[in-house]
Amino acid sequence: MQYGYRIVEDMKNGLMHYMEEQHVDHLADLVGLATKNIVPAEKLDRDYKVYPKIDWDKCIGCGRCYISCFDGAHQAITWDEEKRRPSVNINRCVGCQLCNLVCPVGAITTGEKVLKPGRKGNAADKQVESSRLTHF
């Protein structure tokens, strides 16, 4: 609830602009388009995780990643109050990429891929599926 219920009005406006840009006349035309992207949990590859990578030159010090990880993930980001810069503690990070998703300026991207303890394979061969997580 970072923005409160007022975000609903923003979402409506955003959707109206999107439909106009994409020449979509009816909301019903969008319903179900994303269902092909839903994957059953047992099909997910859980053998590896991907750490986030923070670019301090791009970071504007908003603290969103820190708050999001603290409240919604695994308290894996430490916050330098003086420099207003985050750092990832890889001993706590589970690679959920929530921090990546909430960063408003694309300062967080996918970083090192690692196999989880006891898993076999080569983490470097793993494909990160979502383009949202790698490009802004």
- One of 105, 119, 128, 129 touching ligand SF4 (CB under 6 A): 105
Site residues (CB under 6 A) for ligand SF4, limited to 34-73 = 52, 54, 59-65, 69, 73
- Say whether residue 109 binds ligand SF4 (CB under 6 A): no
At 54, list the tokens.
């923070």
- Answer for the pair 77, 70: CB distance below 8 angstroms, yes or no: yes
- One of 74, 87, 110, 111 touching ligand SF4 (CB under 6 A): 74
For ligand SF4, the closer CB: 24 or 110: 110
Q: How far apart are CA 133 and CA 64, in angstroms?
A: 16
Closest to 98 in 3D by CA, of 122, 126, 131, 66: 66
For ligand SF4, the closer CB: 19 or 78: 78
Label residue 118 left, alpha or beta by phi (over 0 means left) and psi (-120 to 50 means alpha).
left
- Answer for the pair 73, 98: CB distance below 8 angstroms, yes or no: yes
Q: Which residues bind ligand SF4 (CB under 6 A)?
A: 52, 54, 59-65, 69, 73-74, 76-77, 86, 88, 93-99, 103, 105, 107-108
